[in-house]
Structure 1
Amino acid sequence: MEREAFERALAYHCAPALVGLRCACVISLSSADYPALPRVAGRYTRLLERRGVRIEVLCRCESRWLLLVYRPELLEAHLQGREAVSLLQRRGYPTGAGLAALLRHLRRRLLWREGFPHEIGLFLGYPPEDVQGFLADPGGGRCKLCGHWKVYHDVEGARRQFARFDCSREALCSRLRAGMTLSQLFGVRETPAA
């Protein structure tokens, strides 16, 4: 069933954002497997926004959808940090215009064919110093640890974060395997599909 597959994919790839350990996660899904994904994402946003989670299509790139699963309050706070603002300004983002404007600019950057916008790491809650490290070392050859992202600075802090992220993934995925749905996991009542 498409719903079960979608929920399993969300739990596997986006558990840290779903449970609030991270401000955002991104997931890429086949447009052939999910032709109505914008509608599905909207339905899940209506379901989960009562728990502080939004799901938005960032782009349909080639044959895939790129979804952002995020907690708006956490994401906005992360993007307002001094280092994040500085890095986003250097990349042309309208840093004083609010989260919606930043996401619109990111969508445009994803559609430009001038290379992938690696500053997306800021939108995923990566430490700004690691995003800057990757921008200076695009192949990642000088990173000190490779896990949920390429780490250039606080290796031990990142290891602890990665372990928490992995535990959140296992917890959500095991509950879904046991037959629960995301609405049950988050204690929200589903409304009939429109």
Structure 2
Amino acid sequence: MLEQLEHGVDITHLADLIAWANDSTSQKKRLFLIENLAPLVLRIKPSVLMNVSYNDQVDWSKFKILFTRPKALQIREIRKLNGQLQVMFYQKDLLDSVLSQRAIQQFLRSLSYPTQYSLDSYLQVLKHRILSRKFPHEIGVFLGYPLKDVLGFMGLQPLPYKRTQGWRIYGDERPSDEVYENYRTARRMMRELVEHIGDDGQQNAIRK
């Protein structure tokens, strides 16, 4: 199974995340979290925005330390909502690469993002806008959705709506289908990795 993983995935870290998910009375919630973070952990998706349970603050603090052990994996807490914590998880280098693309830079600058780019400043603007009354639909490019779909959704390009599959797809469906399938495959791989954890040890199970 190791050969199917993206280059740069920390196998030891991945094994420890799976062990963390399995070792708890809250196993179902932990596995849900790990599965949804799979495209990110496996270096396929630049970021994930999701709500996590904040009832057990000690457990969340331990998870943050574990999750961010590789320097590339980062967590940015957005806000607390009814016992839930809205969090952006991201691969620092992957997200930086996405946001540095010329077309995406032009798009975000047209929405009043700083002309002098830095990952931190763009994330700060995004967080501020999430906390405002009007949700920032440009978040789609941060999450790895094709730019054409974000532009189509925002009405900035006259692209025909095709269907909803993870997100609303506009224009040519092929690049969107490829991205969606990659994300779906990552979640499937994570489920399989969890199932392959056996008595021979986490890393050995992953390497089979």
- 2:93 aligns to what? 73
The Cα of 1:160 is off from its aligned counterpart by 2.3
Tell me the amino acid that sits aligned with residue 148 of structure 2: E
Identical aligned residues as a percent: 23
Q: What are the equivalent positions in structure 2 for 1:76-115 lying under 5 Å apart?
A: 76-112=96-132, 114-115=133-134
Equivalent position SS for 2:161: coil
Runs of 4+ in 1 over 3 A off after TM superposition: 2-7, 34-38, 177-180
The Cα of 1:31 is off from its aligned counterpart by 3.2
User: Would you say 1:160 and 2:178 are equivalent positions?
Assistant: yes
The Cα of 1:63 is off from its aligned counterpart by 4.2
TM-score, length-scaled by structure 1: 0.76
Q: 1:58 to 1:29 in 2, by over 3 A?
A: same
* Structure 2 unpaired stretches of 5+: 1-23, 204-208
* Structure 1 unpaired stretches of 5+: 186-194
Once structures 1 and 2 are overlaid, which stretch shifts more, 119-128 or 22-31? 22-31
**Could you tell me which of 35, 38, 44 is aligned with 1:12?**
35
User: Would you say 1:136 and 2:155 are equivalent positions?
Assistant: yes
Equivalent position SS for 1:56: strand
- 2:164 aligns to what? 146
Q: Is the 8 A contact 2:68 2:75 kept in 1?
A: no
Q: Distance in 2 between matches of 1:59 and 1:19?
A: 26
- 1:188 aligns to what? none
Q: Is the 8 A contact 2:146 2:175 kept in 1?
A: no
Equivalent position SS for 2:135: coil
Tell me the amino acid that sits aligned with residue 143 of structure 2: L
The Cα of 1:43 is off from its aligned counterpart by 0.9
Q: Distance in 2 between matches of 1:118 and 1:41?
A: 29
Q: 1:146 to 1:35 in 2, by over 3 A?
A: same
Q: Distance in 1 between matches of 2:134 and 2:80?
A: 16
Equivalent position SS for 1:144: strand
TM-score, length-scaled by structure 2: 0.71
Q: 1:102 to 1:145 in 2, by over 3 A?
A: same
- 2:190 aligns to what? 172
- Number of equivalences: 175
Q: Is the 8 A contact 2:163 2:169 kept in 1?
A: yes
Q: 1:14 to 1:75 in 2, by over 3 A?
A: same
The Cα of 1:156 is off from its aligned counterpart by 1.6
Q: Distance in 2 between matches of 1:90 and 1:37?
A: 41
